[in-house]
Amino acid sequence: MNKRLLIHLCWMMLLLSGCWDENDIEERGFVIGTAIDLVEDQQANDNPTLKMTNQFVVPAGIGLPTGAGSEKKAFTNLSKTGESLFEIIRLMSTAVGRAPYYEHLKLIVVSEEVARQPDLFAGIMDLFIRDQEMRREMRVVISEDKAQKILEIEPETENLPVMYITNVMENTTKLAGLIDPARIGEIHEHLLEPQSYVIPRVFSSDDKIIFNGGAVFHGESNRLVGTINLEEAAGLNLIKNKIEGGYFKIEVDNKLMVYELKRVKSNIEINANDPEDINIEITIDAEGNIGEMFGQKSLLDKAYLSKIERKVSERIEQVVNNTIKKAQEDLKLDFFGFSEILKRKHYEIWNEVKENWDEGDNIFANSTVKVKADAIIRTTGATDRVKDQGSE
């Protein structure tokens, strides 16, 4: 009986014991966003001096209505400088009442100035990838200006700037040119492979976050080497089959019309029998609706619908071709993932060209890329026209 009671008590002790590393929530300073900049007046040494700005949650301000005019904010930003982020984080802990806690970090903003430095971006990401406290779902964006300014916006609809930014990032179905949020886990994969990639690019204006295409990183150096605008980003999304929505404006008979994308499917075929003559064929099938029209012709006219579909197809081809042109002629980088397809389907050819794909002879830039789009209209809305033809 005593033995059974002893075993029972041991089990109770295991179940009721606390965590060995328990910390009261009141003792933690929750960091939800961080921004990385270069210090303006750099000293003449080998290691650049970084400025890290953390956004801490202020619990007392969370429950206050947005725009209530209260001086009590739901966040506070704190900046420290140093040669390494690890060093800065330790310094940060001596300047706040609560120990910084990074497990709820949602957003990392890196300035273009930092991202253009050789090897610096990869070095900065190392801490966020290596630290077990960091989550793999953290988003990464590149700021056109100082990254700190992104964390200083005060939106009207949210108490916390970082929450506002991450919510906007999820609205990728609204615009074809919004690049999917880059998560730290994906950044890690990019750093392990010598393949060029794109990260969302942002700037702030009037306390609002503006997404402005993408920052293009060279796969070998992991350094920002150029940018693409919103339309070029739409072309990238079309190629990579990453469009969940959006729209295209076209003109039919000199009248503006808006085509709303509902479904897009792309297919990429690479003919690589000759390593000196690689042909890439991209086919894009799109389905959508008439979102808005300024012309007064009836959409029940099949010939007119076919004309609209041709115009949309041509517009999609134009957008994609412009993105391809930017990649081949200006940046001379394959940030579409063509190299992965070539490696998977034509491994022997890939081994011959991989050293010169984005470098040296730059085989990608000299490859032939053909684009074919086929757009169809699924619905025309609740009416075939708004205004009677006879009243024009």
Predicted confidence band at 2 (pLDDT cuts at 50, 70, 90)? low
Number of residues written out for the chain: 392
Q: Which CATH class is domain 235-392?
A: alpha beta
96 pLDDT more than 50:
yes
User: In the predicted model, what is the mean pLDDT of residues 117-146?
Assistant: 91
pLDDT tens for 255-292 read 999 999 999 999 999 999 888 899 999 999 999 999 89
Average pLDDT taken over every residue of the chain: 87
Predicted confidence band at 344 (pLDDT cuts at 50, 70, 90)? very high
Buried b (16+ CB within 10 A) or exposed e, 188-226: eebbeebbbbbbbbbbbeeeebebbbbbbbbbeebbbbb
Structure-token pair, residue 367: 């490859």
Structure-token pair, residue 291: 């979102």
Kindly report the pTM of this predicted structure. Answer: 0.86
Highest mean pLDDT pick, 14-28, 84-98, 358-372: 358-372
Q: What share of the chain has pLDDT > 70, as a percent? A: 85
50 pLDDT more than 50:
yes
Burial of 286 (0-12, 13-18, 19+ CB in 10 A): buried
The ranges assigned to domains in the chain are: 28-228, 235-392
Q: What is the pLDDT, as a whole number, of residue 25?
A: 47
The residues near 356 (Cβ < 8 Å, ≥ 6 apart) are 362, 363
Predicted confidence band at 68 (pLDDT cuts at 50, 70, 90)? very low
Report the alpha-carbon distance of residue 187 to residue 76 in Å, rounded.
Answer: 28
pLDDT tens for 237-258 read 999 999 888 999 999 999 999 9
Report the alpha-carbon distance of residue 230 to residue 210 in Å, rounded.
Answer: 11
Predicted confidence band at 175 (pLDDT cuts at 50, 70, 90)? confident
Residue type at 268 in one-letter notation: I
